[in-house]
Homo-oligomer: A and B are copies of this chain.
Amino acid sequence: MKKSDVDYTLYLCTDRDLMRADTVEDAVRQALLGGVTMVQLREKNCSAKEFFETAQRVKKITDQAGVPLIINDRVDIALAVDADGVHVGQSDIPAAEARRLLGPDKIIGVSARTVEQARKAETDGADYLGVGAMFVTGTKQDAKVTSKEELKRIRAAVAIPIVAIGGIKADNVEELKETGIDGVAVVSAVIAAENIASAAEELAGCVKELKEA
């Protein structure tokens, strides 16, 4: 997958604890049917071995769908399964180190809440930013909410794609119009939905509208 081909429109982050599907693989398969354009595997509460094995299995599914697989935090697991990239937060392995380990062709995403973090991430070699939390979320109750104004300032400060994250659902995504985002990242709005495929389809439609507006 060439980096320039990456479509950030609907970026799914997995969460084993929130999902109704039997396995992460099932959830991802259904989400891809609904039109998810990118998948991040996030496994905070399992062993590194289980994370690695799940990543191996999910990689086959995302490859078949032609959708990039991003690994949260663990650069070694990304390397081991030849994932398309990693996503690092401000407390994870530094983006510059991730770039050194992964080389120029892999996708590196960085979580940023401020213009300063956004600029540093871009300098350190990030390919995209995850900005948020945009809304109060069930997943991270204590996450600070990023204002729409800060999102716009970040958009103006960097050239790389921006994915908004945090509490985004079909009924609030329109609040993000005119912010210049390239896509939205969702966890519970898709992964915890009764019908994952239709939840993804609805959201993908909303985000496309937003981007065209």
Contacts and interface: CB of A to CB of B under 8 A. Distances in A.
Interface of A: 47-50, 52, 73-77, 79-80, 90-94, 97-98, 100-101
B91 A52 contact: no
A92 B76 CA distance: 11
A48 B93 contact: yes
A49 B92 contact: yes
Contacts of A50: 91
Given A75-B76, A76-B79, A52 B101 contact: no
A80 B100 CA distance: 8
Contacts of A79: 75-76, 101
A77 B93 contact: yes
Contacts of A80: 75, 93, 97, 100-101
Nearest to A74: B76
A111 to B, nearest CB: 12
Contact of A49 (B76, B90, B100): B90
Given A74-B76, A76-B79, A48 B100 contact: no
Nearest to A92: B48
A93 B74 CA distance: 11
A97 B52 contact: yes
Contacts of A74: 74, 76
B101 A49 contact: no
A78 to B, nearest CB: 8
The residue among A49, A91, A98 with the most chain B CB atoms within 10 A of its own CB is A49
Nearest to A50: B91
A55 to B, nearest CB: 10
Contacts of A90: 49
A177 to B, nearest CB: 34
Given A52-B93, A52-B94, 13 more contacts: A49-B90, A49-B92, A49-B93, A49-B94, A50-B91, A74-B76, A75-B76, A75-B79, A75-B80, A76-B93, A77-B93, A79-B101, A80-B97
